[in-house]
Amino acid sequence: MDAAAPPRPGTAAWRPRFVRCNLCGADACREIYPSRLTNASERDIHEIFACTSNAYGECGPIVRCTACGLVYQNPQPDPEDILAAYVQVVDARYEEEREGRVHTFRRALVELEEYAAPGRLLDVGSHLGVFVEVARERGWEAHGVEPSLWATERARARGLPVTCGTVADLAAGGEPHDVITLWDVIEHLSDPSGELRRLYRLLRPGGVLALSTMDVDAPVARLLGRNWPWYMLMHLFYFSRDTIRRLVESAGYEVIEVRRHRRIVRFSYLISRLERRIGRLYQPLDWAVERTGLGRRLVTVDLGDVITLFARRPGSWIELDASRALGTVSQDGTSRRPVAVARKAS
């Protein structure tokens, strides 16, 4: 693929499938918001699957599991269709907003370093590799994995070690990671529980998992209801602080902390998010913002509806080395018997 080529139109396949709750496995759920999805199979994939998509509110029925309370879209697109869309998607606007991403990720990395010193890091869903680049600048041995062909090529053009594919495509074995990150990724996955378990095997005992996602129980989400903008076709699951904690713990991790996530963006990008909401008023507003120079200003966005979770794989390097000597842990760090939980020093 030509990395400089403009986005090519393509239609997203829409083969809906009904799914069980990814947290507890129950198949009983109740609809809380009806579908607003129309002609999804005729839409340009760049419009609805790009990270910077503003197709807010366009998704299938939103349901809540009657057993555990997890909120999710049901039915959902077939996993193969989702992956195919992400492989093809091009997102030039994300690249234009690079400055804001750099500042956001620098802040996220400072928070991450409260729990882990620089070491081997895997960024899942790394897109253009901005977080990988920021981490490497601070001494991390960071690399990423990303399904988008376009994004991977752009990252590699900057000399960044980003693998095109998914976690399943990463080579088995090798040295385990000290940290694994998923920034705004887990809500896009067809099987977040299964992915967390796969990542567990790639993380060393004592290693840290960090992820960010939306909080469906945040006051602003409750206030806006069906008009909460994060209800989108590409977002399959909508976690609360409680359900994301339980999901991570069920995969074997020990949750350390859940906190609010803050983003830094250019003011012009923030205004662009309103385009579909305000219609014809957007163009004159955008012109005014750019004419006055306000568009280049960086602003912090925190409505309380995006959270960061930090967790740890139980165990420690000391236990890992001892277990390897005894033959109870494989070379990839996978335990053959339980190891003790390492608590964070106070």
Residue 264 has a pLDDT of: 74
List the one residue out of 226, 193, 209 whose CA is nearest residue 70. 193
Sign, Cα dihedral of 59, 221, 90, 163: negative
| Cβ atoms < 10 Å from Cβ of 327 | 8
Count how many Cα atoms sit within 13 Å of the Cα of residue 152 in the half-sphere of its side chain: 19
Chain segment 1-59, per-residue pLDDT in tens: 333 333 344 556 678 999 999 999 999 999 999 998 876 666 677 778 888 777 778 89
List the one residue out of 137, 309, 138, 120 whose CA is nearest residue 214. 309
Chain centroid, CA 135 distance in Å: 17
Q: Which residues pair with 265 in a beta bridge?
A: 299
Residue 92 has a pLDDT of: 83
pLDDT in tens, the chain (346 residues): 333 333 344 556 678 999 999 999 999 999 999 998 876 666 677 778 888 777 778 899 999 999 999 999 999 999 999 999 999 999 887 887 788 889 899 999 999 999 999 999 999 999 999 999 999 999 999 999 999 999 999 999 999 999 999 999 886 667 899 999 999 999 999 999 999 999 999 999 999 999 999 999 999 999 999 999 899 999 999 999 999 999 999 999 999 999 999 877 655 555 555 556 655 665 675 556 566 766 566 767 778 899 999 999 998 655 444 444 444 444 334 333 333 333 333 3
Q: Write out the two tokens for 169.
A: 């495509």
Q: DSSP for 270-287?
A: HHHTTHHHHGGGHHHHHH
Going through 165-290 in order, the beta strands assigned E by DSSP cover 177-183, 203-214, 237-238, 254-260, 263-266
Q: Are strands 141-146 and 162-164 parallel, antiparallel or unpaired?
A: parallel
pTM of the model: 0.82
Identify whether the C-beta of residue 139 lies closer than 8 Å to the C-beta of residue 118: yes
As annotated, the residues of the chain forming the CATH 3.40.50.150 domain(s) are 93-264+303-326
Domain 93-264+303-326: homologous superfamily in CATH: Vaccinia Virus protein VP39 (3.40.50.150)
